[in-house]
Amino acid sequence: MTTTETPSIFAPVSTPAFAIRDLSFFVLTITAVIFILVAGFAVYTLIRFGRRPAAPDIEPAQVYGSTQIELAWTVVPLLIVVVLFLVTARYVYRIERRAQPPDALEITVVGNQWWWEIRYPKFGIVTANELHVPVSEAARPTLTFITLQSVDVAHSFWVPQLSGKMDVIPNKTNRVWIEPQRVGTYVGQCAEYCGLQHALMLLKVVVHPRDEFLAWVASQQTAPALHEATRPGRELFSSLACINCHSVRGTPGNGVFGPDLTHVMSRSTLGAGAVRNTPENLRAWVKDPAAFKAGALMPAMKLDDAQLDQLVGYLATLR
Ligand code: CUA
Protein backbone atom coordinates (compact mmCIF):
# COMPACT_ATOMS: atom_id res chain seq x y z
CA MET A 1 0.00 0.00 0.00
CA THR A 2 2.82 2.39 0.78
CA THR A 3 5.50 3.23 -1.72
CA THR A 4 8.72 5.12 -1.16
CA GLU A 5 9.17 7.92 -3.63
CA THR A 6 12.10 9.97 -4.83
CA PRO A 7 12.45 12.92 -2.45
CA SER A 8 11.86 15.77 -4.89
CA ILE A 9 10.43 19.23 -4.31
CA PHE A 10 8.73 18.79 -7.69
CA ALA A 11 6.60 15.90 -6.39
CA PRO A 12 4.89 17.51 -3.38
CA VAL A 13 2.11 15.78 -1.43
CA SER A 14 1.62 18.26 1.43
CA THR A 15 0.38 21.83 1.67
CA PRO A 16 3.56 23.82 2.37
CA ALA A 17 5.38 21.70 -0.24
CA PHE A 18 2.80 22.61 -2.91
CA ALA A 19 3.52 26.29 -2.27
CA ILE A 20 7.28 25.68 -2.47
CA ARG A 21 6.91 23.92 -5.83
CA ASP A 22 4.76 26.75 -7.23
CA LEU A 23 7.26 29.36 -6.06
CA SER A 24 10.14 27.35 -7.54
CA PHE A 25 8.43 27.23 -10.94
CA PHE A 26 7.81 30.98 -10.78
CA VAL A 27 11.47 31.72 -10.01
CA LEU A 28 12.69 29.17 -12.58
CA THR A 29 10.48 30.73 -15.28
CA ILE A 30 11.85 34.24 -14.67
CA THR A 31 15.47 33.09 -14.50
CA ALA A 32 15.00 30.88 -17.60
CA VAL A 33 13.74 33.89 -19.60
CA ILE A 34 16.75 35.92 -18.42
CA PHE A 35 19.12 33.08 -19.33
CA ILE A 36 17.63 32.65 -22.80
CA LEU A 37 17.81 36.41 -23.49
CA VAL A 38 21.40 36.80 -22.28
CA ALA A 39 22.67 33.62 -23.92
CA GLY A 40 20.73 34.48 -27.12
CA PHE A 41 22.28 37.96 -27.35
CA ALA A 42 25.72 36.52 -26.68
CA VAL A 43 25.39 33.89 -29.42
CA TYR A 44 23.88 36.46 -31.83
CA THR A 45 26.78 38.86 -31.19
CA LEU A 46 29.36 36.13 -31.71
CA ILE A 47 27.88 35.17 -35.05
CA ARG A 48 26.91 38.63 -36.32
CA PHE A 49 30.00 40.58 -35.25
CA GLY A 50 32.70 37.93 -35.29
CA ARG A 51 35.83 38.85 -37.29
CA ARG A 52 35.59 37.64 -40.88
CA PRO A 53 38.76 36.82 -42.78
CA ALA A 54 37.47 38.59 -45.92
CA ALA A 55 36.43 41.81 -44.13
CA PRO A 56 38.77 44.85 -44.20
CA ASP A 57 40.66 45.27 -40.91
CA ILE A 58 39.03 48.47 -39.72
CA GLU A 59 38.21 49.37 -36.13
CA PRO A 60 34.44 49.40 -35.35
CA ALA A 61 32.76 52.54 -34.01
CA GLN A 62 33.75 53.12 -30.35
CA VAL A 63 30.93 54.05 -27.91
CA TYR A 64 31.76 55.73 -24.58
CA GLY A 65 28.87 55.46 -22.11
CA SER A 66 25.12 55.50 -22.67
CA THR A 67 22.84 56.81 -19.94
CA GLN A 68 19.85 55.00 -21.42
CA ILE A 69 21.51 51.57 -21.57
CA GLU A 70 23.05 51.94 -18.11
CA LEU A 71 19.70 52.94 -16.63
CA ALA A 72 18.03 49.97 -18.33
CA TRP A 73 20.50 47.39 -17.05
CA THR A 74 20.25 48.82 -13.55
CA VAL A 75 16.52 49.41 -13.24
CA VAL A 76 15.23 46.26 -14.97
CA PRO A 77 17.23 43.78 -12.80
CA LEU A 78 16.29 45.81 -9.71
CA LEU A 79 12.60 45.45 -10.58
CA ILE A 80 13.04 41.70 -11.18
CA VAL A 81 14.76 41.28 -7.80
CA VAL A 82 12.01 43.27 -6.05
CA VAL A 83 9.33 41.08 -7.65
CA LEU A 84 11.18 37.87 -6.64
CA PHE A 85 11.62 39.20 -3.10
CA LEU A 86 8.00 40.21 -2.64
CA VAL A 87 6.58 36.99 -4.04
CA THR A 88 8.96 34.87 -1.90
CA ALA A 89 8.17 36.92 1.22
CA ARG A 90 4.46 36.39 0.61
CA TYR A 91 4.88 32.60 0.42
CA VAL A 92 7.14 32.48 3.50
CA TYR A 93 4.70 34.62 5.45
CA ARG A 94 1.72 32.50 4.42
CA ILE A 95 3.45 29.25 5.48
CA GLU A 96 4.88 30.56 8.76
CA ARG A 97 1.74 32.38 9.82
CA ARG A 98 -0.43 29.28 9.69
CA ALA A 99 -2.06 29.01 13.12
CA GLN A 100 -2.20 25.62 14.80
CA PRO A 101 -5.77 24.28 14.80
CA PRO A 102 -6.89 22.75 18.12
CA ASP A 103 -7.15 19.24 16.62
CA ALA A 104 -3.68 19.27 15.05
CA LEU A 105 -1.33 16.40 15.83
CA GLU A 106 1.70 17.53 17.84
CA ILE A 107 5.08 15.85 17.45
CA THR A 108 8.48 16.79 18.86
CA VAL A 109 11.51 15.85 16.79
CA VAL A 110 14.90 16.06 18.50
CA GLY A 111 18.11 16.05 16.48
CA ASN A 112 20.95 13.93 17.89
CA GLN A 113 24.33 12.97 16.42
CA TRP A 114 23.21 11.10 14.26
CA TRP A 115 19.60 10.12 14.61
CA TRP A 116 16.19 11.64 15.25
CA GLU A 117 14.23 11.18 18.45
CA ILE A 118 10.49 11.42 17.83
CA ARG A 119 8.03 12.10 20.62
CA TYR A 120 4.25 12.20 20.64
CA PRO A 121 3.67 14.02 23.96
CA LYS A 122 -0.12 13.58 23.96
CA PHE A 123 0.14 9.84 23.26
CA GLY A 124 3.11 9.10 25.53
CA ILE A 125 5.05 7.59 22.62
CA VAL A 126 8.80 7.88 22.05
CA THR A 127 10.36 6.42 18.94
CA ALA A 128 13.16 7.18 16.50
CA ASN A 129 13.88 7.99 12.86
CA GLU A 130 10.39 7.15 11.59
CA LEU A 131 7.58 9.62 11.81
CA HIS A 132 4.03 8.28 11.56
CA VAL A 133 1.28 10.76 10.74
CA PRO A 134 -2.33 10.62 9.54
CA VAL A 135 -3.28 11.66 6.02
CA SER A 136 -5.26 14.87 5.62
CA GLU A 137 -8.56 14.35 3.84
CA ALA A 138 -10.80 17.01 2.29
CA ALA A 139 -13.62 15.92 4.61
CA ARG A 140 -11.33 16.03 7.62
CA PRO A 141 -8.23 18.19 7.21
CA THR A 142 -5.51 17.02 9.60
CA LEU A 143 -2.43 19.10 10.17
CA THR A 144 0.69 17.89 11.94
CA PHE A 145 2.74 20.49 13.79
CA ILE A 146 6.34 19.49 14.45
CA THR A 147 8.45 21.10 17.18
CA LEU A 148 12.17 20.86 16.40
CA GLN A 149 14.92 20.75 19.01
CA SER A 150 18.55 19.64 19.15
CA VAL A 151 20.53 18.16 22.02
CA ASP A 152 23.96 18.75 20.51
CA VAL A 153 24.78 20.60 17.28
CA ALA A 154 22.83 22.23 14.45
CA HIS A 155 20.88 19.81 12.24
CA SER A 156 18.19 20.49 9.66
CA PHE A 157 14.84 18.77 9.19
CA TRP A 158 13.98 18.24 5.54
CA VAL A 159 11.40 15.99 3.94
CA PRO A 160 11.19 17.61 0.48
CA GLN A 161 7.77 16.25 -0.49
CA LEU A 162 6.16 17.45 2.73
CA SER A 163 7.66 20.79 3.78
CA GLY A 164 10.55 23.15 3.42
CA LYS A 165 13.84 22.83 5.24
CA MET A 166 13.94 23.96 8.86
CA ASP A 167 17.09 24.21 10.93
CA VAL A 168 17.25 22.28 14.20
CA ILE A 169 19.27 24.42 16.58
CA PRO A 170 20.45 23.76 20.18
CA ASN A 171 18.71 25.97 22.75
CA LYS A 172 16.15 27.14 20.23
CA THR A 173 12.77 25.71 19.33
CA ASN A 174 11.71 25.83 15.69
CA ARG A 175 8.49 24.62 14.15
CA VAL A 176 7.24 23.23 10.88
CA TRP A 177 3.85 21.94 9.89
CA ILE A 178 2.74 19.48 7.26
CA GLU A 179 -0.57 18.47 5.76
CA PRO A 180 0.09 15.34 3.72
CA GLN A 181 -2.70 14.60 1.28
CA ARG A 182 -1.56 11.22 0.00
CA VAL A 183 -0.87 8.01 1.88
CA GLY A 184 2.69 6.77 1.39
CA THR A 185 6.25 6.74 2.69
CA TYR A 186 8.33 9.86 2.17
CA VAL A 187 12.02 10.11 2.88
CA GLY A 188 13.96 12.96 4.38
CA GLN A 189 17.47 13.71 5.42
CA CYS A 190 19.37 15.92 7.81
CA ALA A 191 20.21 18.94 5.66
CA GLU A 192 22.83 20.69 7.79
CA TYR A 193 26.34 19.30 8.16
CA CYS A 194 26.48 17.96 11.71
CA GLY A 195 29.59 15.79 11.91
CA LEU A 196 31.03 12.56 10.60
CA GLN A 197 27.76 10.72 10.00
CA HIS A 198 25.66 13.63 8.73
CA ALA A 199 24.97 11.59 5.59
CA LEU A 200 23.53 8.73 7.67
CA MET A 201 20.92 10.77 9.47
CA LEU A 202 17.94 9.69 7.44
CA LEU A 203 14.33 10.19 8.27
CA LYS A 204 11.22 8.48 7.05
CA VAL A 205 7.67 9.77 7.22
CA VAL A 206 4.89 7.22 6.93
CA VAL A 207 1.54 8.80 6.08
CA HIS A 208 -1.32 6.49 7.12
CA PRO A 209 -5.06 6.50 6.59
CA ARG A 210 -6.57 7.80 9.81
CA ASP A 211 -7.70 4.46 11.30
CA GLU A 212 -4.37 2.84 10.44
CA PHE A 213 -2.57 5.72 12.20
CA LEU A 214 -4.68 5.22 15.32
CA ALA A 215 -3.87 1.51 15.25
CA TRP A 216 -0.15 2.36 15.05
CA VAL A 217 -0.53 4.69 18.04
CA ALA A 218 -2.28 1.96 20.04
CA SER A 219 0.43 -0.58 19.22
CA GLN A 220 3.20 1.84 20.23
CA GLN A 221 1.44 2.60 23.51
CA THR A 222 1.43 -1.01 24.68
CA ALA A 223 4.39 -2.26 26.70
CA PRO A 224 6.24 -5.13 25.02
CA ALA A 225 5.00 -8.58 25.96
CA LEU A 226 7.21 -10.55 28.36
CA HIS A 227 8.25 -13.95 27.09
CA GLU A 228 9.69 -16.47 29.53
CA ALA A 229 12.06 -17.75 26.81
CA THR A 230 13.74 -14.37 26.49
CA ARG A 231 14.08 -13.70 30.23
CA PRO A 232 17.89 -14.30 30.24
CA GLY A 233 18.29 -11.77 27.44
CA ARG A 234 16.08 -9.27 29.26
CA GLU A 235 18.10 -9.68 32.46
CA LEU A 236 21.32 -9.32 30.51
CA PHE A 237 19.99 -6.09 28.94
CA SER A 238 19.11 -4.74 32.41
CA SER A 239 22.53 -5.64 33.80
CA LEU A 240 24.60 -4.07 31.04
CA ALA A 241 25.43 -0.50 30.15
CA CYS A 242 22.60 -0.62 27.55
CA ILE A 243 20.22 0.87 30.12
CA ASN A 244 22.35 3.96 30.63
CA CYS A 245 21.44 5.13 27.14
CA HIS A 246 18.32 3.21 26.08
CA SER A 247 14.79 2.86 27.38
CA VAL A 248 12.52 -0.15 27.19
CA ARG A 249 9.21 0.35 28.95
CA GLY A 250 8.76 -2.15 31.78
CA THR A 251 12.50 -2.61 32.39
CA PRO A 252 15.04 -0.64 34.47
CA GLY A 253 16.25 0.81 31.16
CA ASN A 254 15.29 4.47 31.06
CA GLY A 255 18.29 6.10 29.39
CA VAL A 256 17.67 8.88 26.93
CA PHE A 257 21.00 9.30 25.11
CA GLY A 258 20.14 6.62 22.54
CA PRO A 259 16.91 5.66 20.77
CA ASP A 260 14.01 4.25 22.81
CA LEU A 261 13.96 0.50 22.13
CA THR A 262 10.48 -0.33 23.44
CA HIS A 263 9.31 -1.14 19.88
CA VAL A 264 12.66 -1.21 18.11
CA MET A 265 11.67 -4.03 15.76
CA SER A 266 8.72 -2.00 14.44
CA ARG A 267 11.25 0.26 12.72
CA SER A 268 12.66 -0.57 9.31
CA THR A 269 16.27 0.51 9.77
CA LEU A 270 19.03 0.67 12.40
CA GLY A 271 21.29 3.67 12.89
CA ALA A 272 18.92 6.17 11.18
CA GLY A 273 19.00 4.45 7.81
CA ALA A 274 22.46 2.88 8.15
CA VAL A 275 21.23 -0.67 7.62
CA ARG A 276 18.00 -2.67 7.33
CA ASN A 277 16.63 -3.74 10.69
CA THR A 278 16.82 -7.54 10.82
CA PRO A 279 17.82 -9.72 13.79
CA GLU A 280 21.12 -10.56 12.01
CA ASN A 281 21.96 -6.89 11.45
CA LEU A 282 20.83 -6.03 14.98
CA ARG A 283 23.29 -8.62 16.30
CA ALA A 284 26.11 -7.17 14.19
CA TRP A 285 25.11 -3.66 15.29
CA VAL A 286 25.25 -4.50 19.01
CA LYS A 287 28.56 -6.28 18.47
CA ASP A 288 30.11 -3.26 16.79
CA PRO A 289 27.99 -0.32 15.57
CA ALA A 290 31.01 1.24 13.86
CA ALA A 291 30.98 -1.62 11.36
CA PHE A 292 27.86 -0.01 9.86
CA LYS A 293 28.32 3.57 11.00
CA ALA A 294 31.83 4.77 11.81
CA GLY A 295 31.83 7.24 14.69
CA ALA A 296 28.38 6.19 15.99
CA LEU A 297 28.27 7.21 19.64
CA MET A 298 27.19 3.73 20.75
CA PRO A 299 30.27 1.75 21.78
CA ALA A 300 30.96 -1.85 20.75
CA MET A 301 29.50 -3.86 23.63
CA LYS A 302 32.30 -6.49 23.76
CA LEU A 303 29.91 -9.37 24.36
CA ASP A 304 30.71 -12.99 23.62
CA ASP A 305 28.62 -14.95 21.11
CA ALA A 306 26.38 -16.55 23.72
CA GLN A 307 25.61 -13.17 25.32
CA LEU A 308 24.95 -11.62 21.91
CA ASP A 309 22.51 -14.41 21.06
CA GLN A 310 20.64 -13.95 24.35
CA LEU A 311 20.52 -10.18 24.11
CA VAL A 312 19.44 -10.04 20.48
CA GLY A 313 16.98 -12.87 21.09
CA TYR A 314 15.32 -10.54 23.58
CA LEU A 315 15.58 -7.32 21.54
CA ALA A 316 14.11 -9.08 18.49
CA THR A 317 10.85 -9.57 20.42
CA LEU A 318 10.38 -5.81 20.93
CA ARG A 319 7.88 -5.32 18.13
CU1 CUA B 1 22.29 16.06 11.55
CU2 CUA B 1 23.42 16.64 9.53
Q: What is the pLDDT of residues 11-53, one digit of tens each?
A: 999 999 999 999 999 999 999 999 999 999 999 999 988 877 7
Residue 150 domain-assigned? yes
261-296 pLDDT, tens digit per residue, is 999 999 999 999 988 999 999 999 999 999 899 999
Question: The domain that contains 213 carries what CATH number?
Answer: 2.60.40.420
Residue 7 domain-assigned? no
CA 7 – CA 294 distance, rounded (Å): 25
Ligand 1 nearest-atom number relative to CA 192: 2
Name which of 259, 268, 263, 266 is nearest 286 in CA terms: 259
117 and 186 belong to one structural domain:
yes
Three-class SS string for 78-104?
HHHHHHHHHHHHHHHHHHHCCCCCCCC
Residue 303 domain-assigned? yes
Residue 9 domain-assigned? no
The total number of structural domains that make up the chain: 3
- From 96, 119, 154, the end of a domain falls on 96
252 and 193 belong to one structural domain:
no
- Does the model's pTM come out above 0.75? yes
46 and 121 belong to one structural domain:
no
**Does the beta carbon of 110 sit less than 6 angstroms from any atom of ligand 1?**
no
28 and 91 belong to one structural domain:
yes
Residue 183 domain-assigned? yes
**Does the beta carbon of 201 sit less than 6 angstroms from any atom of ligand 1?**
yes
Query: How far is the centre of ligand 1, averaged over its atoms, from the C-alpha of 155 (Å)?
Result: 4
Q: pLDDT tens digits, the chain, 319 residues: what are they?
A: 345 678 899 999 999 999 999 999 999 999 999 999 999 999 999 998 887 776 677 777 888 888 999 999 899 999 999 999 999 999 999 999 999 999 999 999 999 999 999 999 999 999 999 999 999 999 999 999 999 999 999 999 999 999 999 999 999 999 999 999 999 999 999 999 999 999 999 999 999 999 999 999 999 999 888 888 888 899 999 998 899 999 998 888 888 899 999 999 999 999 999 889 999 999 999 999 998 999 999 988 888 999 999 999 999 989 8
- From 39, 74, 96, the end of a domain falls on 96
What domain range includes position 136?
Answer: 105-221
Residue 100 has phi, psi (to 5 degrees) of -80, 120
Nearest CA to ligand 1 atom 1: 155
Residue 8 domain-assigned? no
Residue 173 domain-assigned? yes
Helix (H) or strand (E) holding 45: helix 15-49
**Does the beta carbon of 190 sit less than 6 angstroms from any atom of ligand 1?**
yes
**Does the beta carbon of 200 sit less than 6 angstroms from any atom of ligand 1?**
no
Query: How far is the centre of ligand 1, averaged over its atoms, from the C-alpha of 76 (Å)?
Result: 40
CA 220 – CA 212 distance, rounded (Å): 12
